[in-house]
Structure 1
Amino acid sequence: MTKASSAVRLSPGSAAVLDAALGVARETSGANPAERAERLSRQFLGTPYGADTLVGSETVPEQLAAELERVDCFTLVDYVEALKRSTSRDQFVNALIRVRYKDNAVGFATRKHFFTDWAATGPAVATDITATLSRNTVEVAKNLNRKDSGGVYLPGLPVVPRTVTYLPSAAVDDGVVTQLRTGDYLGAYAEDGGLDVTHVGIYVAGPDGPLLRNASSLSANQKVVDSPLFDYLRTVPGIVVLRPVQ
């Protein structure tokens, strides 16, 4: 039988990052979910930002890629969530497939391209808890992948009708934050009807206040950083919150 790890694109540098992270995964295997999420995501602080590390499109066959030496906001959460489910390379690869793809099927059409796919498609990675956090949430009917300006974001993929619930940034107060748990995934609500969010990160209850641990493409960062949550909220319309199922 072919090992799962042989199915993944993994450079020597990424393999070294993965092995170090798996060491932390083994060390924290008995820790509570919040501590485990914080310790594993901490391994990526300072990792350079890198876009377009996944391989696959309407015309290019999908390849299972794990580029851990540079990450964007979505691949960062992919890798952290997969690491939480792993203590070995083979377990990581199998977990990455479960996290990144619908029905565990590696393919461009089955990739979970949208943040809310983690809650809306199987196998479910997380539960959308946004509506439980406040009475001020807003529901918006969207057609994911269809740009408001015309055309689609991802050629070759269908338009997906979905109701997205978000909490306006102005309504995120201390009462909301006290309901969040380290390891929750926060998405920055997208005003365009074809997207659910424009950016994602990991909530961390820091010693000096709430943080969004995220792969930032801002010119001042260009790496994984801890952004003070309330500062970040002033730059986005609102948030969508997903709580991991494990």
Structure 2
Amino acid sequence: MNKNKAVLLMLAIAMSGCADRPTAVTPATPPTDAAVSPPGVQPEMDASTRSKLREILALRAGWPAAQPHGRTVDLISREFLGTPYLANRLIGSQSTPEQLVIDFRGLDCFTYIDYVEALSTAHSEGEFVQHLVDIRYVDGKIAFPQRKHFFTDWAQRPHQVAEDITAQLSPHAVTLVKTLNRKADGSSYLPGLPVVQRSVTYIPSDNVDNKVLAQLRTGDYIGIYTNLDGLDVTHTGIFVMTDSGPVLRNASSRKANMRVVDSPFMDYVMATPGIVVLRSLSR
């Protein structure tokens, strides 16, 4: 691996903690319309992914129409438990045309929640694809600059996927203005994308107490806040209340896991700076 590729790989890992960001070598030219997939494009799917998609849609067809969204997210997300963790699943960069990737054979933390949320409201393959495009891309335009690269994009950029409820959960929530995509040295994490100032609210881990837990719902999306300049979170997962207690269901890159697992929620959170909580608008 050459030096440039190695540096970009390390930046990609830092961007999410689960390496869902692009790692292509970056040229000097900005993205153009050539990097945009034509409207109505249908992604290629391997046989395994298509089979699993149809299996999940068949299961979903048998669930009550009035079933709470959180329960649906729980049931869908558990279908991926044990799926291998694989980094850098998406294709696209400043120079590489964006492709709509749908691949269930390996997941990182961000593609995992992308797929689960898209499946939670889909009743057909076509609906799933369209919902995924709307979740992953601003205004449903398949292009690298329009991809929602940051967790809080889900609550900030159209089509809006979720509401940021972090501030509602605790009087100890902290709001900081972060300059997303700009590192401490002034360079960009993702060349070709703008720097964006955004107020990011998180609950410090020491303040994630029983009162906060009581307000979380199964199906809430959790971002692990980071103190790093230019980033909002370094990992994502799904809050699920199980018979054994609350868990963070996540595509884990930890060496002991390297797959989708249920991590004890409080144990996980206490080892981090804090959490950002998004609640799906599909509820």
TM-score, reference length from structure 2: 0.84
Within the candidate set 165, 168, 171, 2:207 is matched to 171
Q: Which AA in structure 2 matches 1:139?
A: T
Within the candidate set 79, 85, 88, 1:52 is matched to 88
**Where does residue 67 of structure 1 map in the other structure?**
103
Written as runs of structure 1 = structure 2, the 5 A alignment for 1:169-208 is: 169-208=205-244
Q: Within 1, Cα distance between the matches of 2:170 and 2:147?
A: 31
Q: Within 1, Cα distance between the matches of 2:39 and 2:186?
A: 44
**Where does residue 12 of structure 1 map in the other structure?**
47
Note the C-alpha offset of 1:70: 0.6
SS at match of 1:7: coil
TM-score, reference length from structure 1: 0.96
Within the candidate set 60, 74, 85, 1:38 is matched to 74
Identity of aligned pairs, percent? 49
Written as runs of structure 1 = structure 2, the 5 A alignment for 1:1-246 is: 7-28=42-63, 30=65, 31-246=67-282
Note the C-alpha offset of 1:29: 5.4
**Given that residues 77 and 201 in structure 1 are in contact (C-alpha distance below 8 angstroms), is that contact kept between their aligned partners in structure 2?**
yes
Q: Which AA in structure 1 matches 2:240?
A: V
Q: Which AA in structure 1 matches 2:53?
A: L
Moved over 4 A (4+): none
SS at match of 1:21: helix
Note the C-alpha offset of 1:27: 2.2
Q: Which AA in structure 2 matches 1:230?
A: M
SS at match of 1:37: helix
Q: Within 2, Cα distance between the matches of 1:62 and 1:146?
A: 22
Give unpaired runs (5+ residues) of structure 2: 1-37
Give unpaired runs (5+ residues) of structure 1: none
RMSD: 1.4
Figure out how many residues of one structure are paired with residues of the other and give that number.
244
Change (3 A) 1:29 1:86: farther
Change (3 A) 1:3 1:145: closer
Note the C-alpha offset of 1:235: 1.8
**Given that residues 97 and 105 in structure 1 are in contact (C-alpha distance below 8 angstroms), is that contact kept between their aligned partners in structure 2?**
yes
**Given that residues 17 and 69 in structure 1 are in contact (C-alpha distance below 8 angstroms), is that contact kept between their aligned partners in structure 2?**
no
